[in-house]
Amino acid sequence: MTEALNRTDGRREGSMVETEAATEPMTLAFEVTVSSVQELSPNFRRVTFGGYCLRDFGLNEDTLDLRIKLMIPSLAPDGSALPLPAFAMESEGWYREWLAMDPTLRGSMRTYTVRQTRLDAVYPEIDVDFVMHFDEHGRGGPAANWALNATPGDALTLIGPNNRADRPQGGGYGGIEWRPGMAQRVLLAGDETAVPAIAAILESLPSYMTGQAFLEVPEAGDFLEISSPANIQITWLARGAAIGRSRPQGELLQDAVRRAIRVPGWVGIKASDEGPGKEPEDINVDKDILWDTPGRLDARAIEGSRNPDKPSGALPFYAWIAGEAAVIKELRRYLVRDVGIDRKQVAFMGYWRQGKAEG
């Protein structure tokens, strides 16, 4: 079954035609409206989106660190939001189609994590937590500015997974990176941009898992209530804590991870007992995206892999680390080179780069 236009606002637009080759698209554009806005802390604001179309949203599994795209609208001279021009999503070329639009009309596309869902409700909803980051002049990015002024009834288009699509387990839609395999000991670490994903992951973990979670945020007022069925020690780190000055971005996070995972003493999570690992290939985080995850690694193609025949998830330890790219790059070097952890056991994700606009 396929649609002429794969945009959905609760109605089926276009005729449904059944053909031998027709398949459901992996991704849909969902036309949603703001149901509510909630101030979670000084630097976090939750926006709840609703729409009957969300019955088709999701992967039929826990959302974990599920990423979606928010289409932040451009503004007309009177300050009202301009409607997003229509674009088809029946092929993988939808992004190029959007990119080719007039920049003054297409708005901005930003990536966010789904914090919670209530897709089985009479009126389905999803929550998205925004980091309200502004510079000393009160200027923020398109998404933060939009969230600051969001009110119930505002319309927005989001791009996310189609739960009717036929996809292999864990495949098709590349919006989830949390894949611990058989690991029972885990580490999660991230700055404020990774807090929604870490929180969603923690809430879904099985009770037999143990480990630690480190979350670095701008101030102590941003410590949020998070619970987990697993035996995970959750540690909040505030850059602007009692010392009276703000610590550099990522400094507390790096210190915490290095204290938690010391060398020596981690033989049980290494690829082998041969000592430190090899230097991972260098990535220029000012030009390239740092996104090094087990699901994206071909074990046999990794130069210098310490355990090329052992698949991802076969070792007892797994780590998920996300945040500012330069900070994540240093943690990647420490865990892979200094500690000797197999790269197939760690997801390293540079969510953003300090000094650069978010993508």
Say which DSSP state 145 is in: H
pLDDT of the residue at 267:
47
Cis peptide before 264 (omega within 30 of 0): yes
What are the boundaries of each domain within the chain?
7-161, 185-352
| CA dist., res. 330 & res. 134, Å (int) | 26
The reported pTM is 0.86
Give the model's pLDDT for residue 245: 67
CB-based burial label for 107 (10 Å; 0-12, 13-18, 19+): buried
Would you state the pLDDT for residue 201? 98
Are β-strands 27-41 and 155-161 bridged in parallel, bridged antiparallel, or unpaired? antiparallel
List the one residue out of 321, 304, 314, 303 whose CA is nearest residue 344. Answer: 314
Q: Return per-residue pLDDT of the chain as tens, 359 residues.
A: 222 333 444 333 333 334 444 578 888 999 999 999 999 999 999 999 999 999 999 988 899 999 999 999 998 888 888 888 887 776 667 888 888 888 888 999 999 999 999 999 999 999 999 999 887 777 888 999 999 999 999 999 999 999 988 766 545 567 899 999 889 999 999 999 999 999 999 999 999 999 999 999 999 999 999 999 999 999 999 998 555 567 889 999 999 999 999 765 454 555 555 556 677 777 776 777 888 888 766 444 444 445 555 667 667 899 999 999 999 999 999 998 888 888 888 999 999 987 665 54
Residues 6 or more apart in contact with residue 344 via CB below 8 angstroms: 294, 297, 299, 302, 305, 307, 310, 311, 312, 313, 315
Q: Can you tell me the distance from the alpha carbon of 234 to that of 227, in angstroms, rounded to the nearest whole number?
A: 9
d(Cα 95, Cα 17) in Å, to the nearest integer? 24
Q: Which CATH architecture has domain 7-161?
A: Beta Barrel (2.40)
CATH number for the segment(s) 185-352:
3.40.50.80
Phi, psi of 257 (to 5 degrees): -65, -40
Confidence (pLDDT) at 213 = 98
Instruction: Please choose, from the candidates 349, 323, 114, the residue with its C-alpha nearest in 3D space to the C-alpha of residue 239.
Output: 323
How far apart CA 250 and CA 239 sit, in angstroms, is: 9
